[in-house]
Amino acid sequence: MTFSIITLGCKVNSYESEYMREQFEEVGHKAVSLQEKPDVIVINTCSVTNQSDAKSRHMIRLAKKESKEAIIAVCGCSAENHREALLPLGIDILIGNKDKSHIVELVEEYAKKREKIARFYDMSKVPFEDMTLKSESNKTRAFVKIQDGCDNFCAYCIIPYMRGALRSKDIDVATREIAELVENGHSEIVLTGIHTGSYGRGKDYDLVDLIREISKLEGLKRVRISSIEVTELDDKFLDELKNNPKICDHLHIPLQTGSDEILQFMNRKYDTAYFSQKIEKIREIRPNISITTDLIVGFPHEKEANFEETVQFIKKIGFTKIHTFPFSLRNGTKAEKMKEYFVDELVKKKRVREILALSNELEKTYYEKFLNQTLDVIVETSEGLESRGHTSNYILVNFKGLAKSGQTVDVKITSLDGIIVNGEIEKVE
C-alpha cells in the first residue's frame, strides 16, 4: 500500500508522525504525496486553537476529496476533542492520542474487515506510549519525544484534557533511542514533550539526568530543549547549563503575558518578578543566549493597561523572538467562565500586529550583535555553493562555500537582510 501522513500542530505530533511513517515503511508500505492518491491517509490533528481545529477539519475534507478510495485515519488532539463532530466526515479510523503506535495494525484491520474503527480512552489513566525512532527525514536534527501530558491546567488551555496526566519515557529507553539516532547521523537532538521540563516527575531521574547521560555520546554535538517552563529552571538545571557546552545557547521559555494581573487569571505559576529574576540568572551564565517565548494577547480581562505592561516587560527581557497568538476560547477550560470579560476581536488583531512588529525588531537587534562574528553552524541543506543551517543559538544562516549536509562549519556572519542572516564559511570541521 501507499500512504501519506499529514501533520498539524506541535513537535510532539511531528515526532509521532515520524514514528508512524517508520512503522508503515518497515512492513513495506511506501510514502507518497497526497497528490499521488495514496491508499491510506493519516491525519494527525491539533486542537490548541479554533484555527487548529478548522485546519484539521479542512485537511480531512481535502483528503476525502483528493483520494475518494483511500482509507482515512484521523488521530491527535482535535480527534480527541471533537470525536462526535468528526465521525460524520467519512473517517474510517478515528483515534485520539493513544494507539498512534498501533496505526499500521488498525489500518490492516480496517482493510481486512471494512468496519469503521473508533478507539478512545480515559487519558488521565493511560501509561506512556513508547515510540522510538531509528532515524528522521531531517538528517541533522532529530526530535525525541521524552514526555507526554500536562498538569498545569492553565485557564486557556485544553491540552491537559486531551493529552492526559504527566508521564515520561524511561531514561534507558530514551538514551538508547538517542544513541541510535546519533549513530545514524543526527548530530543535534531536540528533547520534546507536552510539558518537557516535567520529564521524570515521580521517577528517580529528571531532565538534567537525561541531558547528562546523552551528553556522553561522542557524536552528539548539541542538545536542544523544545520548550521549558520558567518554574522548571531550578538550580540543578542552571548548573548544567553552566557546565555542559552541548546544551544549545537557546531556550524557549513561554511567558504568555507580561501582566501580573493577567498571569493570575491565566492560572500561571509565576509572576513577572520571578520570570525576570530567572532570566537574569540565565544571562549571568550565558550572556549571549537566545531566549524566545510564547505570548497570548487578548486574554479575558486584558485591558489596554495590561497589554502595555506586557509590551514593556517584553522590551525589558529582550526576547529574541515572540510566537504570538490571539486568545482562542477552548470549551471546557476555566477561561470559558470569563465570557463577559472577552476582548474584542479587532482589538486582539491590533495587539497581535503590534507584538509581531516588536518581535521582528527584537530579532533583528539580536542578530546584529553577531555581525562579523564567527559561529558554528550545522549544515542542514546544501546545493552547490549555497548552504544553510542553524547556529547553537538558533540563528538560521544562509552562507556560501563548499559544505555537506550534517557537517559542522564555522561561518562568519557578514550581513543582514531584515531578519535574514547571511554569512561565509571560514572553516569546515
Share of the chain above pLDDT 90, in %: 93
Quick: pLDDT tens for 296-313: 999 999 999 999 999 999
> Is residue 351 a contact partner of residue 102, using CB atoms and an 8 Å limit?
no
Categorize the per-residue pLDDT at 137 as very low, low, confident or very high, splitting at 50, 70 and 90: low
What integer pLDDT is reported at residue 284 of this predicted model?
A: 98
Instruction: Tell me the C-alpha distance between 203 and 219, whole Å.
Output: 28
The per-residue pLDDT for range 94-116, each reduced to its tens digit, is 999 999 999 999 999 999 999 99
Which amino acid is located at 325 in the chain?
A: F
Closest residue by Cα to residue 392 from 381, 408, 371: 408
Mean pLDDT for 262-282 is: 98
pLDDT at 87 over 90: no
Looking at residue 61, what is its pLDDT?
Answer: 95
Element (H, E) at 279: helix 272-285
Number of neighbouring beta carbons within 10 Å of residue 231:
16
Is residue 429 over pLDDT 90?
Answer: no
pTM value? 0.94
How many other β-carbons are positioned within 10 Å of the β-carbon of residue 221? 20
The phi, psi pair for 389, rounded to 5°, reads 180, 175
Please choose, from the candidates 406, 301, 396, 294, the residue with its C-alpha nearest in 3D space to the C-alpha of residue 355.
294
Mean pLDDT of 324-335: 95
Q: Looking at the predicted structure, is the pLDDT value of residue 138 above 70? A: no
What mean pLDDT is predicted for residues 5-17? Answer: 96
Q: How confident is the model at residue 140 (pLDDT cuts 50, 70, 90)?
A: confident
Lowest mean pLDDT among 74-83, 194-203, 376-385: 376-385
Q: In the prediction, which pLDDT does 86 show?
A: 94
Q: Is the pLDDT of residue 384 over 90?
A: no
pLDDT bracket for residue 401 (50, 70, 90): confident
For residue 135, the model assigns a pLDDT of 82
Query: Is residue 41 helix, strand or coil?
Result: strand
Kindly state the average pLDDT of the residues 150-175.
96
Residue 62 has pLDDT above 70, yes or no: yes
Q: Which three cell numbers stand for residue 217?
A: 555520546
Task: Report residue 44 as a C-alpha cell.
Answer: 494527525
Mean pLDDT of 384-397: 95
Three-state secondary-structure class, residue 374: strand
Task: Kindly state the DSSP code that residue 67 receives in the 8-state scheme.
Answer: -
Those residues with Cβ within 8 angstroms of residue 221's Cβ, 6 or more apart along the chain or in another chain:
187, 188, 246, 378, 408
Q: What's the whole-number average pLDDT of the chain?
A: 96
Mean pLDDT of 71-83: 97
Q: Residue 7's pLDDT is what?
A: 97
308 φ, ψ (degrees, to nearest 5): -65, -35
Report the DSSP pairing between strands 40-45 and 71-76: parallel
pLDDT exceeds 70 at position 406: yes
pLDDT at 357: 98
